[in-house]
Structure 1
């Protein structure tokens, strides 16, 4: 069925005359009349009758009108989506990440992305890495960030390694040191991620190798919590350099930690499939910003 016939039919119904419909459709009155005649021939029923010079709608036409209106509505929405996709005006992106990235890294990327996609929508889930991996198994998001390992069938987009630094209150006696080692932290209250986390295990090995005592004050789940406790003089901590940027602004100092430790995580898709245009832009923006932040704040460079 030709959509031009349906559009002419809807216009005649809604305006009440062939002449008015012709104005709405920017067509001649005979052209509209011809479209209606063709539709009636296709349907095999009369849609309009003329009585005393006035156009009257038949009962069959009213029944058909509701279906025609719905059909055209769906078609117009589909056309609009197609136009939006072509012009990069709309799109939906679902993200999931651990709280550190969600708080300190991703918001400015999302803000810039939505300036380019003014009708776009971002759905943002913030959970621990194990929960993000679990949500990935049910494909609850488009792009996720979680600590390794990422299991199949998920598809890793990038593996990221971020150097870690030691965070101390500005008035801490060790703040005067250029580099912090486990020997400096021998028997100093320490705030660390939970005991089976790969970074905590690496810290334990570093202390053992230098014969220093790791005096645990608090185990936490997130770097941000560790830094907040350090600000309260509960102890010192080792966190990724990106998280450190925020807390350097509010009273902590960062010092390189030797031996070097890296925080590792992945940007991944729950299942391998082509990325949408808005997702591809997000991935490119994340790569660019994260690389610049690490390069500018890596204490082990130069």
Structure 2
């Protein structure tokens, strides 16, 4: 009989490769560091190749480790899914849910609602991965992902939670000093604060009610790959930025920021839950999906279908 793969060692390697730390992997797995190290060494001996470069300060994947990482993640995810499906026969959500979300949204809005879910589902744990980069859900072994975008067609299953308005905004002080632009072309030569993970970070398209689209090339003192990094410069009145309402709704409500050029809007986006295709969802994933849908579809910055977007005090006064 052919010798079975060392599934335990592959699973341990997957966790170490994700954490890039034997100590953190041991803590996550509830094992000793020595047990984790021995499992990886056992796998390296079996494969005849080193999977990590080890120094006293740093752990890095070798080329063989990088090639094996995705396969190991899939093996671990498949094993967890098999266990979860077996446990799901009693209908009680249990097990680990791997969830990916954007960094700023995850910290400001997702993390604060998770304690309520975890308190209601004592047998469920969440492995939360925060990054503004687009995560490969299938390759990374994730059960769910939150994405804030106009999503292209793909093999992923998508559930739209709510619309998210994006607006060009600035402080009242900036607008008083420099004047409020009325047309996208007025932004040429203005200080624009840019977000690097926009679909087109080097071009800002705007569309009006008549369907006309004007695209400008933003220039300014700061561009960042995280929206929170733009907030201090924006609030200090150093320029204009295109921001989603979930980032600025409190600033709009207080009057610290104002919408600019309201007749011209950036392309619409939405908050979406995305899931890998294929097998039925385990009870733990369905429970979290339902919870997040309820939590975010009624958020103060959410834009439900057919409803007007959040208004700032200035806009509300203009409507009365």
Is TM > 0.5 for Structure 1 vs Structure 2? Answer: yes
Residue pair 1:193, 1:200 contacting (<8 A) in 2 also: no
Where does structure 2 lack aligned partners over 5 or more consecutive residues?
1-82
Question: Would you say 1:128 and 2:132 are equivalent positions?
Answer: yes
Correspondence 1:143 to 2:141: no
Question: TM-score when scaled to structure 1?
Answer: 0.56
1:113 matched to 2:144: no
Cα separation, 1, equivalents of 2:117 and 2:187? 42
Give the whole-Å Cα distance in 1 for the aligned partners of 2:177 and 2:197: 26
Which of the pair has more CA radius of gyration? 1
Contact 1:195 1:201 in 2 (8 A): no
Cα separation, partners in 2 of 1:210 and 1:270, compared to 1, 3 Å: closer
The answer to whether residue 160 in structure 2 is matched with residue 158 in structure 1 is yes
Matched residue, 1:274? 280
Tell me the SS of whatever aligns to 2:142.
Answer: coil
The CA distance in 1 between the partners of 2:144 and 2:248, in whole Å, is 24
How many Å separate the matches in 2 of 1:209 and 1:175?
28
Report how many aligned residue pairs link the two structures: 218
After TM superposition, the score normalised by the length of structure 2 is 0.54
Q: Partner residue of 1:263?
A: 269
Once superposed, what is the RMSD of the aligned Cα atoms? 4.2
Alignment of 1:184-223 (within 5 A): 185=187, 187-194=189-196, 197-198=199-200, 201-203=203-205, 214-223=218-227
Report deviation, 1:255.
Answer: 1.7
Q: Deviations over 1:68-107 (max 9, x none)?
A: xxxxxxxxxx9xx95996555x442210011132122212
- The counterpart of 2:294, out of the listed 285, 288, 296, is 288
Q: Which deviations, in whole Å up to 9, do the C-alpha atoms of 1:157-210 show, x marking residues without a partner?
A: 33753111233235333599999653664532111223872476343788x967
CA distance in 2, matches of 1:211, 1:82: 53
Contact 1:92 1:121 in 2 (8 A): yes
The unaligned stretches of length 5 or more in structure 1 are 1-77
Alpha-carbon contact 1:187-1:213 (below 8 Å) kept: no
Q: 1:199 to 1:234 in 2, by over 3 A?
A: same
Structure 1 counterpart of 2:31: none
